[in-house]
Structure 1
Amino acid sequence: MTSEPQALPLHATLYEAARVMRDKGIGDVLVTDGERLCGMVTDRDIVVRAVAERRNTVFTSLAEVCTAELAVLGPDDDTDTAVRLMREHAVRRLPVVDGRHRPIGIVTVGDLMLAGLDGPGPLSEISKAPPGL
């Protein structure tokens, strides 16, 4: 798990999210309402849901394009749960939230591969699946 994931509030703009992604070398930003996780926006979301639709990234809020229906993990969930959720939801990233639904981390397919779960099987299936997030 990557701890301390990058997060921005719902009212932040796509431009702000893109700058965070560039500056941190990441492909996603969690979206929060107060301290609670309420969505995620990825570099792909910015391209497909905003740039391709000719939205102005300086004025378009994360609330307008983020994915709000997220599969999430709890801090005590194991890697099998992460793999299962990634497969079921065809996603490559899973936010980790605490009991109050505050983001505390993010697990990616890359994290699972680094944990020694690579090779043929579920992770290769997830990697081949069309992107969901």
Structure 2
Amino acid sequence: MSKELTAGEICKRKVTVAYENTSLVAAAQLMREEHVGALVVVADQNGHRLVRGVVTDRDIVMAVVATGLDPEPLLLEDIMSDRLVTAKETDSLLDLMRVMREHGVRRVPVVGEQYELVGIVTMDDVLKVLALELNMLVGTIDRNIKQEHVRRR
């Protein structure tokens, strides 16, 4: 691990993916089977999986269920957001958090040099990393207090 954590270092490399022409029903079933709340939508190109978008369980509820649409004829491309938010593998954790805040997203696909899918970072992943970092700081405080007690005896 480098001094400054990067998106590539904290991302999950096992990503559940689907294609733009995947039916909405099949996508929802895949989410259920894989116990995930989002699918990264990809296209195969030159042996790479290029990121095209993200579809979340909330997208399905808000765009289809809540509006009373029939999900049967719909494909992922029908409800995918036009606004694609990704992070480069080399982006710092701070840059990643800024992107999440700026775009109001909880999940960010991580891409390599040719925009190929490398992994995904969720807000939960970021919170776990930050909690570990904060715990190290607390450990430093505790150690400092113990050292001070020893010196004053």
Opposite residue 22 of structure 1, the aligned amino acid is R
RMSD: 1.5
> What 5-or-longer segments of structure 2 have no aligned partner?
1-10, 133-153
Q: Runs (4+) of structure 1 moved beyond 3 Å?
A: none
Partner of residue 46 from structure 1, selected from 45, 56, 60: 60
Aligned with 1:49: secondary structure? Answer: helix
Structure number with the higher helix fraction is 2
1:15 is matched with: 25
Opposite residue 33 of structure 2, the aligned amino acid is D
| 1:92 paired to 2:92 | no
Aligned with 2:29: secondary structure? Answer: helix
Greater C-alpha radius of gyration: 2
Task: Tell me how far apart the structure 2 counterparts of residues 46 and 18 of structure 1 sit (CA, whole Å).
Answer: 8
Q: In percent, how many aligned pairs have the same letter?
A: 31
Task: Tell me how far apart the structure 2 counterparts of residues 103 and 54 of structure 1 sit (CA, whole Å).
Answer: 33
Quick check: 1:38–1:68 contact (8 Å CA) kept in 2? Answer: no
> What 5-or-longer segments of structure 1 have no aligned partner?
119-133
**TM-score calculated relative to the size of structure 1:** 0.82
Task: Tell me how far apart the structure 2 counterparts of residues 103 and 117 of structure 1 sit (CA, whole Å).
Answer: 27
**TM-score calculated relative to the size of structure 2:** 0.72
Stretch of structure 1 that moved more, 52-61 or 73-82:
52-61
Aligned with 1:60: secondary structure? Answer: coil
1:30 is matched with: 40
